[in-house]
Structure 1
Amino acid sequence: MMTLELALRATEVLLAAALLQQSAEHIFGSQDTRLLFIPRAVLSLVLLTGLYSNWVLLALSVHSLLILHRYQGPYNGGSDRMGLLILYCLCLSRWLPDGISTEAAFGYLAVQVILSYFISGQVKIVNTEWRNGRALQDVFSFSTYPVSESLRALADRPRLLWSASWAVMLFEVLFPLSILNSTVLILALIAAAAFHVANAWLFGLNRFVWFWIAAYPSILWLQTRLIPNA
């Protein structure tokens, strides 16, 4: 059973790993932002230890405002927004009084992650180009993502891409139903993680892997909280 404390701690560890990856890109890459991300890396390492998590999360939350100011918002789109959502929900969960307030803050994270899959699928399924497979064909044919030439050949296999399109859309729109059963939810999260890993391999979207996986303990906890015997 995923207890609240176990889910919170697991989320902290996974978030720390995601923030370390993000920070390393700047510390070892760009001199302009190195000093900005060294404190985030140090705080993330401390978060891994579990010492004074509430204060570390508060410090990371305050520091995130400096990064938001520097880039005039989440500079890397969806993955940064998810990282901030996890960070702020964790911080609230650690600082709010124990009980319904803590559960509400952490449960909000789980609901938002579930909705992120559902809304993504809903947006795709009303799009004609996704329904006929053309969207994926264009991704492999014209995308600026680092797709290898061998993978670009997939654009010439419309039936395969049509099947893949529908598999993705159906998985995303049906994802909320997985919370009704613990075994189904675990399988769904494994499939979702594999999906993010595939996107990292195919298109270089590596940040999405850690940030989304970091939110999974909240969904496992919410399922236990809402349907304990499922």
Structure 2
Amino acid sequence: MIDDGTVLRVLQAGVALYCIVTGLQAIVEFDRYTNGGVLSSSIATLQFEKEWQARLFRLFLGDRRFKYVLYIHVFAGGLLEIQAIVNDLSPWSPLVLLLTTILFGIRHHAGLNGTYHVSLVVLLGILWASITTSALAITLAIGFVTVQVVLSYTVAGWLKLTVADWRNGTMLSDIADAEIWVADGASRALARFPAVTKPLSRGIIAFECLFPIALVAPREITIGLLVVGLGFHAINALSMGFNTFIIIYPATYPSIYYTNRLLHAAVEVPYPL
């Protein structure tokens, strides 16, 4: 059976790489956060009703100051990656990353995708595990990450299920036609074979809605679901440019498998660990 130390190291390595990539992307594309950019502080402060809130925002997250936050974010991510490699778990790197990730979310006022929220969950779980010596507390920290990730899949799936345009494939076609998220090759493929959009859309919904069975299914089925998930995120990365999904979500898969094995052991289900 996979041990909790291995699970934590994979979580560390995954979230550290995620933070490094997102931080470097923001630094490279920093024009978006400066005056005239769509994410500039002058636009971001419009969300505040009180002037003191806007002044506080500019004081800590103004254009130049935010760049320092990004530098700290990348540096702390590098330290956490090294800790994962040398099998060290101290609270300082995840704590700093948690704070800079929260600041990143506040500064990125236009909203962020699901990977942002998963990264917060993973950082909280790692921080929790790093400040305790209790085996039970570490197991609960891993379980916390697992439940949150499973919920992120499930909620996304059930929300899609309630939308008729997702069920009949129209939404997938619209996303492809917009040519904003989908790469040209994938967009052309969907346009050439429109009949696949409906089963493809329903397949995505089914996968996300049924993902919770990974917690209780026999080992072979759980591994199969995780392999499908890996392929799902790989396709998203290639077709839609969602590169951070392929980093942070698969990094949580060992925790899902670990929790599955614990649940089976707890109820003495006759499947080998």
Aligned to 2:144: 108
Aligned to 2:40: none
Aligned to 1:209: 246
User: Is residue 2:154 matched to residue 1:121?
Assistant: no
Q: Name the aligned partner's letter for residue 174 of structure 1.
A: L
User: Is residue 2:88 matched to residue 1:88?
Assistant: no
Aligned to 1:139: 175
Change (3 A) 1:147 1:225: same
Output aligned runs, 1:1-230, within 5 Å: 1-30=1-30, 32=63, 33-50=66-83, 51-71=88-108, 75-148=111-184, 151-179=187-215, 180-228=217-265, 230=271
Structure 1 residue runs of 4 or more that deviate by more than 6 Å after TM superposition: none
Matched residues, percent identical? 25
Task: Report the secondary structure of 1:27's partner residue.
Answer: helix
TM-score in terms of structure 1 length: 0.88
Contact preservation (8 Å) 1:137, 1:161:
yes
Of 167-176 and 140-149, the range deviating more from structure 2: 140-149
Once the two structures are TM-superposed, the CA of residue 149 in structure 1 deviates from its matched residue by 5.9
Of 171-180 and 1-10, the range deviating more from structure 2: 171-180
Change (3 A) 1:163 1:91: same
Once the two structures are TM-superposed, the CA of residue 3 in structure 1 deviates from its matched residue by 1.0
Contact preservation (8 Å) 2:70, 2:100:
no
Q: Structure 2 unaligned runs (5+)?
A: 32-62
Task: Report the secondary structure of 1:115's partner residue.
Answer: helix
Give the whole-Å Cα distance in 2 for the aligned partners of 1:122 and 1:102.
30
TM-score in terms of structure 2 length: 0.76
Give the whole-Å Cα distance in 1 for the aligned partners of 2:261 and 2:75.
33
Instruction: String of CA shifts for 1:33-76, please: whole Å, max 9, x gaps.
Output: 4322111111111112224532221222233343344345x942
Greater relative contact order, per chain length (Cα 8 Å cut-off, separation 6+): 1
Of 181-190 and 148-157, the range deviating more from structure 2: 148-157
Once the two structures are TM-superposed, the CA of residue 147 in structure 1 deviates from its matched residue by 2.7
Contact preservation (8 Å) 1:155, 1:161:
no
Alpha-carbon RMSD: 2.2
